A and B are shown apart, each in its own frame.
Chain A
């Protein structure tokens, strides 16, 4: 596998030399505009804050920057003055002092006072950031390899739950090496929707490895830790779209699980909740429904593209350590339970994670799809009821 990788490598390296040469000019061709609520083009400081905490952080950062710059100019002013004036080439003779208790105490105590002052400034914000009490809306954000799941636990919209993953078109652009769009790698299918001016508490956890839920405009970054819950909060000052990305290395698709928060006015939010609840009711699958092969395959193709293709590839061939599904003995096995259990429990220490968050219907559909796709022509059909039985 490595040799194959290396041979593609040398081809790509040659291609790369050419690209590198042409690129200084080509870079200009990557036309892109700043994304409101996301990164700006060539942004050099923290972006516009949208919460009280984010503006506190920005203030702290800026004041620290000013203090550090002043010290920098002072200290290195002295050093460069000395470098310019106290040179042997100018005939400067070296003095003979090498200690001074007064000076040494002064430059220990003064910095000590400065850092205590700095700490004192930050203390209030530290306390405020941790105060997640009295939230108007509580949402659980669950990190999956590699998408986010949101469950509205308490407040208006309670019961709403959905997954939020990167637009597969953008993922394909990335692989092709030809990205475009102002929201490249930031566009998701289902953004997290919250009301403006309400305290939103985000509870984070994860399904597999540690992820981190980050929205720079809110001043929020909280690790999502499997087996544990942590929380953070924000109260957005204005409506709009705000973007972030996963901030803790979580495996190969780490760069491809963005966060998009849509902040709506109260009226719009209520309307969204009503629509979403209706939509969820309509979409809810009856787990006892008996499906035909063609319907299940069609449904499974969609589930596969959304969840499986990132690793197993659209071709079902896998890549590197990722196992191929095309021709896989587990998939071809007449005992359907084998594959059902792989999806429910995961294998190889979670290298293939458990997919319990998918519904019985989705799991049945995707298993049926893989059993009848590519070279796998088993004709086997897995009904949602079989998954439901195995899940217990």
Chain B
């Protein structure tokens, strides 16, 4: 209690309460930086597990015929790869960034609800264990795809129920994290940090948090109905009892499409921090960036059925969702143009964070273009559920979200650890990842255009060569991430490397650069007095 309620009598004692050490520091963590660190390490672990599953998939697909796994196990791999990457790796990683950076960026002392913050992290652990452990349950892991479409879910073994439970827990964790972020941003900004002076990362997360609160309960509803269909005799989605399997898809994608933007908006925020820092020029069109982010978020609620053109929607439905989807290209384009205008006539240098940011803009845009092509209903009907779609969403999720996060780690890592990474190693990581990523996923466009369906354990022989390249690229990409952990992350965590100055980047702006590196355990305990741009502390 004493940590929460001020006791005037023992204030002096409170100021000196010892920093907890050992496991208590982490288990009982309420410090946003510690919790941020745990989120990031957790999501990296899940990235590795999901990555191993991806490599198992690619190993089986290296050549036609089944060489390594049976199709049942293959379906378990694809399903768990998707679930673990989306819910275990990408989403928690962004929450980790939010925990670390939002209080620092807005001049707050911590997150608003420190203990809820602890709970929302520790909930991830049982959920992750249940997800990863489902391989060892009778009948193996869920094998209905990450979208867990009804009525295939009715045929799954008990691990499906464990998966549903895990998703519920992850959803609860996300909602708590979002509430925390919203309250922190709206109530705990330093005086002078008005909303329209706030760094874009905080803005994008504020909008993302509202999206999460809106759609996680929708997912919870869909999977709860799946659960009661499986065990309690209801027939929401089970056609045998008069249910409608397509209703599941509508509900799932009403969650699923905003989810896509949940996984990319914070990435936009990170890139919007990095590009101006290394162009040594203010972000172009700050206000339009904020409006574009909000537009994308609002539009994301009215495009869900573009995932469902082949279910046989009426013609008016197809036309509505096609036009609405294409509209999203407009605010997304505004963002790309703003970043390029920020670079234009700047004074650029290309340290590793900038490489990742430029790599993000370049490769993410390719994913954006294939998104535009897929938005056209007739073309989508041709390409739906083929490898073209697999290529598309890996271009926006890996080359989008993941690249931006790597950029963020290099950009803010010195602030977190007090140590500079090795620029050479950062560049090896970037160029290796960029090349192997494209070797992996570019050929998948061809496979999809040629008609190779996704989620196939075996395929006609004509698809062999491109699959072989994709597998080779995937192993290279996986190795680059191991390299990143061993040669970049570990040395920084161990304090090996040149000490980081308070502001390692010449053009960087923002309150996070007003505190020493590494950022002390407590920062901005008293609200700082800010200059007129809210980027410097003046007292």
Interface residues of A (CB under 8 A from B): 1-2, 5, 9, 12-13, 16, 19-20, 23-24, 27, 30, 32, 34-35, 38-47, 53-54, 56-57, 60-61, 64-65, 68, 71-72, 75-76, 78-79, 82-83, 86-89, 92-100, 103-104, 107-108, 111-112, 115-116, 118-119, 122-123, 125-127, 129-130, 173-186, 204, 208-210, 212, 214, 216, 219-223, 225-228, 230-232, 244-256, 319-321, 348-351
Known: A83-B348, A119-B326, A230-B311. A348 touches B155 (CB 8 A): yes
Residues of A within 8 Å of B152, CB to CB, are 209-210, 249-251
Q: How far is the CA of A30 from the CA of B72 in the complex (A)?
A: 25
Residues of A within 8 Å of B397, CB to CB, are none
Residues of B within 8 Å of A16, CB to CB, are 59, 67-68
Residues of B within 8 Å of A180, CB to CB, are 461
Contact of A350 with B154 in the complex, beta carbons under 8 Å = yes
Of the candidates A82, A245, A256, the one whose C-beta lies within 8 Å of that of B345 is: A82
B272 close to A (CB within 8 Å): no
B310 close to A (CB within 8 Å): yes
Q: How far is the CA of A19 from the CA of B63 in the complex (A)?
A: 10
Of the candidates B136, B144, B326, the one whose C-beta lies within 8 Å of that of A2 is: B136
Which residue of A is nearest B313, CB measured?
Answer: A130
Contact of B462 with A42 in the complex, beta carbons under 8 Å = yes
Contact of A209 with B155 in the complex, beta carbons under 8 Å = yes
Contact of A86 with B345 in the complex, beta carbons under 8 Å = yes
Q: Can you name 20 A-B residue pairings with CB atoms under 8 Å?
A: A13-B68, A20-B62, A23-B62, A27-B63, A30-B64, A39-B450, A46-B450, A78-B344, A98-B283, A118-B326, A119-B376, A186-B460, A208-B151, A222-B310, A228-B245, A247-B386, A248-B385, A249-B145, A255-B456, A319-B70
Residues of B within 8 Å of A40, CB to CB, are 450, 462
Not counting A42-B466, A43-B449, a sample of 8 additional A-B residue pairs whose C-beta atoms are within 8 angstroms of each other reads A20-B59, A72-B369, A122-B376, A178-B65, A219-B381, A223-B312, A252-B70, A252-B143
Give min CB distance, B336 to chain A, whole Å.
7
Contact of A43 with B462 in the complex, beta carbons under 8 Å = yes
Residues of B within 8 Å of A82, CB to CB, are 340, 343-346, 348
Which residue of A is nearest B295, CB measured?
Answer: A108
Residues of B within 8 Å of A23, CB to CB, are 62-63, 468
Q: How far is the CA of A227 from the CA of B239 in the complex (A)?
A: 5
Contact of A185 with B385 in the complex, beta carbons under 8 Å = no
Q: How far is the CA of A179 from the CA of B280 in the complex (A)?
A: 57
Known: A20-B62, A178-B65. A83 touches B378 (CB 8 A): no
B341 close to A (CB within 8 Å): yes
Contact of B372 with A174 in the complex, beta carbons under 8 Å = no
Contact of B347 with A94 in the complex, beta carbons under 8 Å = yes
Q: Which label, helix, strand, loop or mixed, suits the secondary structure of the B interface?
A: helix
B8 close to A (CB within 8 Å): no
B28 close to A (CB within 8 Å): no
Known: A95-B346, A122-B377, A185-B459. A42 touches B465 (CB 8 A): yes
Contact of A209 with B151 in the complex, beta carbons under 8 Å = yes
Residues of B within 8 Å of A230, CB to CB, are 311-312
Which residue of A is nearest B326, CB measured?
Answer: A115
Of the candidates A65, A107, A112, A247, the one whose C-beta lies within 8 Å of that of B385 is: A247
B516 close to A (CB within 8 Å): no
Contact of A79 with B373 in the complex, beta carbons under 8 Å = no
Give min CB distance, A332 to chain B, whole Å.
24
Q: How far is the CA of A216 from the CA of B279 in the complex (A)?
A: 47
| Residue of B310, B342, B369 with highest tally of chain A CB at under 10 A | B310
Residues of B within 8 Å of A96, CB to CB, are 281-282
Residues of A within 8 Å of B465, CB to CB, are 27, 41-42
Contact of B463 with A219 in the complex, beta carbons under 8 Å = no
Which residue of A is nearest B79, CB measured?
Answer: A249
Of the candidates B155, B376, B446, B456, the one whose C-beta lies within 8 Å of that of A350 is: B155
Contact of A107 with B334 in the complex, beta carbons under 8 Å = yes
Contact of B329 with A111 in the complex, beta carbons under 8 Å = yes
B349 close to A (CB within 8 Å): yes
Of the candidates A93, A104, A244, A320, the one whose C-beta lies within 8 Å of that of B139 is: A320
4 smallest CB-CB distances across A and B, nearest first, come from A227-B239, A230-B312, A43-B450, A216-B451
Of the candidates A47, A78, A173, A181, the one whose C-beta lies within 8 Å of that of B451 is: A47
B52 close to A (CB within 8 Å): no
Of the candidates B136, B157, B244, B341, the one whose C-beta lies within 8 Å of that of A103 is: B341
Which residue of A is nearest B338, CB measured?
Answer: A104
Residues of A within 8 Å of B62, CB to CB, are 20, 23
B135 close to A (CB within 8 Å): yes
Which residue of A is nearest B373, CB measured?
Answer: A64
Of the candidates A112, A126, A174, the one whose C-beta lies within 8 Å of that of B65 is: A174
Give min CB distance, B539 to chain A, whole Å.
27
Residues of B within 8 Å of A184, CB to CB, are 64, 460-461
Residues of B within 8 Å of A115, CB to CB, are 326-327, 329-330, 372
Contact of B464 with A27 in the complex, beta carbons under 8 Å = yes
B536 close to A (CB within 8 Å): no
CB-contacts of B335-386 with A (<8 A): 336-337, 340-350, 358, 361-362, 365-366, 369, 372-373, 376-379, 381-382, 384-386
Q: How far is the CA of A315 from the CA of B205 in the complex (A)?
A: 57
Q: How far is the CA of A60 from the CA of B340 in the complex (A)?
A: 29
Contact of B460 with A38 in the complex, beta carbons under 8 Å = yes
Known: A98-B285, A247-B384, A254-B75. A86 touches B318 (CB 8 A): no
Of the candidates B323, B344, B446, the one whose C-beta lies within 8 Å of that of A119 is: B323
Residues of B within 8 Å of A321, CB to CB, are 72, 138-140, 157
Contact of B468 with A98 in the complex, beta carbons under 8 Å = no
B196 close to A (CB within 8 Å): no
Contact of A46 with B458 in the complex, beta carbons under 8 Å = no
Contact of B382 with A61 in the complex, beta carbons under 8 Å = yes
Which residue of B is nearest A321, CB measured?
Answer: B139
Contact of A78 with B340 in the complex, beta carbons under 8 Å = yes
Contact of A39 with B452 in the complex, beta carbons under 8 Å = yes
Give min CB distance, B245 to chain A, whole Å.
6
Residues of B within 8 Å of A86, CB to CB, are 279, 343-348
Q: How far is the CA of A348 from the CA of B156 in the complex (A)?
A: 9
| Residue of A122, A125, A178, A244 with highest tally of chain B CB at under 10 A | A122
Which residue of A is nearest B230, CB measured?
Answer: A349
B319 close to A (CB within 8 Å): yes
Give min CB distance, A47 to chain B, whole Å.
7
Contact of A122 with B310 in the complex, beta carbons under 8 Å = no
Contact of A129 with B66 in the complex, beta carbons under 8 Å = no
Q: How far is the CA of A236 from the CA of B150 in the complex (A)?
A: 33
Contact of B246 with A225 in the complex, beta carbons under 8 Å = yes
Known: A82-B344, A178-B65, A228-B239. A252 touches B378 (CB 8 A): no
CB-contacts of B438-483 with A (<8 A): 446, 449-453, 455-466, 468
Q: How far is the CA of A179 from the CA of B459 in the complex (A)?
A: 10
Give min CB distance, A74 to chain B, whole Å.
11
Residues of B within 8 Å of A20, CB to CB, are 59, 62
| Residue of B67, B71, B362, B382 with highest tally of chain A CB at under 10 A | B382
Residues of A within 8 Å of B194, CB to CB, are none
B73 close to A (CB within 8 Å): yes
Give min CB distance, A207 to chain B, whole Å.
10
Residues of B within 8 Å of A219, CB to CB, are 378, 381-382
CB-contacts of B167-181 with A (<8 A): none
Contact of B327 with A39 in the complex, beta carbons under 8 Å = no
Contact of A95 with B281 in the complex, beta carbons under 8 Å = yes
| Residue of A24, A46, A204 with highest tally of chain B CB at under 10 A | A46
Give min CB distance, A389 to chain B, whole Å.
23
Residues of A within 8 Å of B240, CB to CB, are 226-227, 350
Residues of A within 8 Å of B285, CB to CB, are 98-100, 104
Residues of A within 8 Å of B287, CB to CB, are 99
Give min CB distance, A68 to chain B, whole Å.
4
Of the candidates A12, A75, A254, the one whose C-beta lies within 8 Å of that of B68 is: A12
Of the candidates B140, B239, B362, B386, the one whose C-beta lies within 8 Å of that of A76 is: B362
Give min CB distance, A130 to chain B, whole Å.
4
Give min CB distance, A190 to chain B, whole Å.
19
Give min CB distance, A114 to chain B, whole Å.
8
Contact of B382 with A99 in the complex, beta carbons under 8 Å = no
